[in-house]
Structure 1
Amino acid sequence: MEQSSSATNGVATAPGCSINEEWIGRTAVISVSGVLDMLTSPQLEAAISAALQKNPTALVVDLTDVDFLASAGMGVLVSARDQTAGTTGFAVVASGPATSRPLKLVGLAEVVGLYPTLDEARAALGE
């Protein structure tokens, strides 16, 4: 498995949230930190769309550093999973009460492909 990062691109977002795009081989990793709510989820949606335009073999949304995940953020994850269905692998990294718990409570953990670490997500996607 290729481990090198070929590019990193910070994306300016709304206050309280930052989004970063990193590539590991042909896998795009979108890392989010801070608050993911109705004000910041459009930036995540834009970052996902931009990454998908580069034709990755897989897309991982890493929510490890998210402090609050609102339903708007969950909606972006479902939409991204729908966009990638059948063409690009998709996974979400989340652990802890602020991220994985809400995804599990509303039944989205299985829908979006939830993993506790980036390494586990990449392994599940065959990366």
Structure 2
Amino acid sequence: MPDESNIADEVILPPDCVVEEKWFDRVAVVSAAGTVDMLTSPKLEERISTVVAQKPAAVVVDLTDVEFLASAGMSVLIAARQQTPEGITFAVVADGPVTGRPLKLVGVTDIVDVYPTLDKALAELAA
């Protein structure tokens, strides 16, 4: 019989997602970091809705620091794009295998403007 005193209890922590908001003139940037999945995507969705209600010229969702993007997170981006009123530009910053590739494979890039960096998004949206 194994010595049960040597068996460690596995602690499963919920995924971590930090969502922040910054403004550059009339462009609101909502940045997410960590995991964006079905447990954490409501946090992203809520922040995007709050920003859109303030009527910026544009909303940019920056996924540069996202380590895992699940379909629930992609659904939030599609819904946010569809619910953003006319006159407000909606864009996403995503690049690489964690965010950019899944958005392209699923077809989100056909619906949402996606930029490789925040600097490129801000430069184009300010023009």
Q: Give the whole-Å Cα distance in 2 for the aligned partners of 1:67 and 1:28.
A: 22
Is the strand fraction higher in 1 or 2? 1
Is residue 2:68 matched to residue 1:68? yes
Q: Give the whole-Å Cα distance in 2 for the aligned partners of 1:123 and 1:111.
A: 20
Q: Which amino acid aligns with 1:105?
A: L
Mind listing any 5+ residue stretches in structure 1 that lack a counterpart? 1-13
Q: Give the whole-Å Cα distance in 2 for the aligned partners of 1:110 and 1:119.
A: 21
- Report the TM-score, using the length of structure 1 for normalisation: 0.84
- Report the TM-score, using the length of structure 2 for normalisation: 0.84
Indicate if the aligned counterparts of 2:15 and 2:39 stay in contact, CA closer than 8 A: no
Indicate if the aligned counterparts of 1:90 and 1:125 stay in contact, CA closer than 8 A: no
Indicate if the aligned counterparts of 2:19 and 2:32 stay in contact, CA closer than 8 A: yes
Partner of 1:121: 121
Partner of 2:5: none
* 3-state SS, counterpart of residue 18 of structure 2: strand
Partner of 2:91: 91
Q: Which amino acid aligns with 1:45?
A: E
Indicate if the aligned counterparts of 2:27 and 2:60 stay in contact, CA closer than 8 A: yes
Partner of 1:24: 24
Q: Which amino acid aligns with 1:57?
A: A
Q: Give the whole-Å Cα distance in 2 for the aligned partners of 1:86 and 1:30.
A: 19
Deviation for aligned residue 1:85: 4.8
Q: Which amino acid aligns with 2:106?
A: V
Partner of 1:35: 35
| Aligned structure 1 segments of 4 or more residues deviating by more than 4 angstroms | none
* 3-state SS, counterpart of residue 98 of structure 2: coil
Q: Which amino acid aligns with 1:101?
A: R
Mind listing any 5+ residue stretches in structure 2 that lack a counterpart? 1-13
Q: Give the whole-Å Cα distance in 2 for the aligned partners of 1:18 and 1:66.
A: 9
Q: Give the whole-Å Cα distance in 2 for the aligned partners of 1:121 and 1:98.
A: 19
